[in-house]
Amino acid sequence: MGKLREFDITFTNNKVVYSPGESISGSVKITTGTSLQYKAIKVNCLGSCGVSNKMNDMSWTLEEQYFSSTLSVADKGTLAAGEHSFPFQFLIPVAAPTSFEGPFGKIVYRVRAVIDTPRFSKDYKAQRPFYLLNLLNLNQMPNIEQPSYAVTTKRFSYLLVKTGTLMMKACSDQRGYTPGQIIRLATEIHNKSGKDTGCVLASLIQKVTYKTKRAVFDLRTIAEVEGAGVKAGKHAEWREQIIVPPLPQSALAGCSLIEIDYFIQVSLKSPETVVTLPIYIGNIAVNLIPPHPNPEGVTPSAPPAEEDLEEVLGAGGSVSEEIPTKSHSQQDQSGQPPTMSPSAFGYAPGVDLPPSQRRADDTSAPLFCVSTGATIPFFTEGNATPVPTSCPLILPPEYSTWDFTHEPPPTYEESCSSNNSSFNNSRPQE
């Protein structure tokens, strides 16, 4: 670096995650081997978003800026050989959106320092990113505590001349969740035909919309649960649970170029049948009214809203069978250890983590995007061929190494078999 031995930016208390409305402060540290003339030393704090039609492209098609503040920490002079420190402080606007990084766009925040030197001399630059978490309170969403429900009827042909009818209903226990919580899913299938169905599949899907001139949608399968098929002429029910991994929140308030949506898709491959349940992922959990106190002080092993699910689905006049679960797909298939700091999602900025959950690299930048499973971007218009992406983003950690104190989601049978089920142990404390 020539005359410079050190040119670095540090944040107060090594803090890297902030909230809108907070002040971000720190210092610019400069160490010189010899004297260095300068015209000015300036520090800039910037928040912006950029999106593109091309994956991992830094030449954004569209950009928007949330704030840009510049502070002159030193005017024309000479830096003597040795160490120098220049403090700075900026106020983050209350409307700034949460940080996000995806293959077709980013919401980024950074502090940059520049030593403006005399003419024909080299200018020196240094920068450091920081991350913003604009908490999404699920309680502010309408009807968030109500079940998300969908039903469809499918008429299909088989054996060329025969026709059959299939009805599929699906229901989640509520419409909003935070990372670490469990989605309880109930599905009912009436197979009014002489042909067995294919396997039933429930998927938690993330849809990110990048609003370029030709908008791009990036669909990612976050987690999947597969159940067995339904025999001909049978009425069957399937109850399963999906644990919500660390995920970016639904909606990015304050950003007009990127949108994030989540939904649960329950589907059959044969006959091809699909229902969709929109849900929200947030940072502040739904504040449900607690159930009536139990005299023994024991939380019931069966889900407290089970009656509600029965009412929505309908018990039906015929005797129903139970669909067994074949597999869960909710872990990192690459075998690599998780690289996420839990403070990025599970905790409010500025709150210290318990010692048992602190990591040695907590001062490193936390990641704000999760990419798992299959992912296919597609366009709203044009002849672009959808291709699988290989975005090198983080995956949900395996349960055995997860920083959160949660276990793999139990099956419905396990939930009802013991008062000490892992479902009850993972419930948030009231």
Do 172 and 110 belong to one domain? no
Q: Is the dihedral of CA 68, 69, 75, 78 positive or negative?
A: negative
- pLDDT for res 324: 84
- pLDDT for res 7: 94
More confident residue, 419 or 96: 96
Tell me the residue range of the domain where 30 lies.
Answer: 4-132
The pLDDT mean for the chain works out to: 75
For residues 332-345, give the mean pLDDT.
33
For residues 41-61, give the mean pLDDT.
92
Q: Token match 């998927």: residue?
A: 203
**Token representation of residue 354:** 């318990």
- pLDDT for res 330: 59
Do 171 and 304 belong to one domain? yes
Do 206 and 88 belong to one domain? no
Query: Peptide bond preceding 295: is omega within 30 degrees of 0, i.e. cis?
Result: no
Nearest to 278 by CA among 349, 384, 207, 194: 207
For residues 142-155, give the mean pLDDT.
93
- pLDDT for res 305: 45
- Give the Cα separation of 219 and 216 in Å (integer): 10
In a domain, 348, yes or no: no
| pLDDT tens-digit map of 283-295 | 999 987 654 444 4
Least confident of 14-18, 227-231, 272-276, 416-420: 416-420
In a domain, 58, yes or no: yes
Strand ranges (E), 347-412:
375-379
Do 106 and 220 belong to one domain? no
In a domain, 403, yes or no: yes
Which helix (H) or strand (E) is 312 found in, with range? Answer: helix 306-313
For residues 134-155, give the mean pLDDT.
93
CATH of the domain at 384: 2.60.40.640
Do 152 and 228 belong to one domain? yes
In a domain, 195, yes or no: yes
In a domain, 13, yes or no: yes
Which helix (H) or strand (E) is 414 found in, with range? Answer: helix 412-417
Do 242 and 126 belong to one domain? no
Final residue belonging to a domain, choices 75, 98, 132:
132
Burial class, 120, CB count within 10 angstroms (exposed 0-12 / middle 13-18 / buried 19+): exposed
Do 379 and 310 belong to one domain? yes
- pLDDT for res 159: 83
In a domain, 349, yes or no: no
Final residue belonging to a domain, choices 114, 132, 150:
132
- Give the Cα separation of 417 and 300 in Å (integer): 11
For 314-349, the DSSP string reads ---SSPPEEPPEEEEE-S-TT-PPP---GGGTSS-T
Do 81 and 189 belong to one domain? no
- Give the Cα separation of 98 and 110 in Å (integer): 13
Instruction: Examine the pLDDT at 264 and tell me if it is beyond 50.
Output: yes
Do 240 and 374 belong to one domain? yes
In a domain, 352, yes or no: no
Q: How many domains does the chain have?
A: 2
**Token representation of residue 21:** 């409305």
Q: Beta-carbon neighbour count of residue 350 at 10 Å?
A: 13
- Give the Cα separation of 92 and 24 in Å (integer): 7
Instruction: Examine the pLDDT at 415 and tell me if it is beyond 90.
Output: no
- At 122, the pLDDT band (50, 70, 90 cuts) reads confident
- pLDDT for res 183: 95
Q: Beta-carbon neighbour count of residue 226 at 10 Å?
A: 15
Final residue belonging to a domain, choices 132, 158, 184:
132
- pLDDT for res 254: 92
Do 92 and 167 belong to one domain? no
Instruction: Examine the pLDDT at 377 and tell me if it is beyond 60.
Output: no
> Do the Cβ atoms of 61 and 51 come closer than 8 Å?
yes
For residues 267-286, give the mean pLDDT.
93
In a domain, 322, yes or no: yes
Do 149 and 259 belong to one domain? yes
Do 52 and 171 belong to one domain? no
345 contact partners, CB below 8 Å, separation of at least 6: 179, 246, 247, 283
- pLDDT for res 11: 96
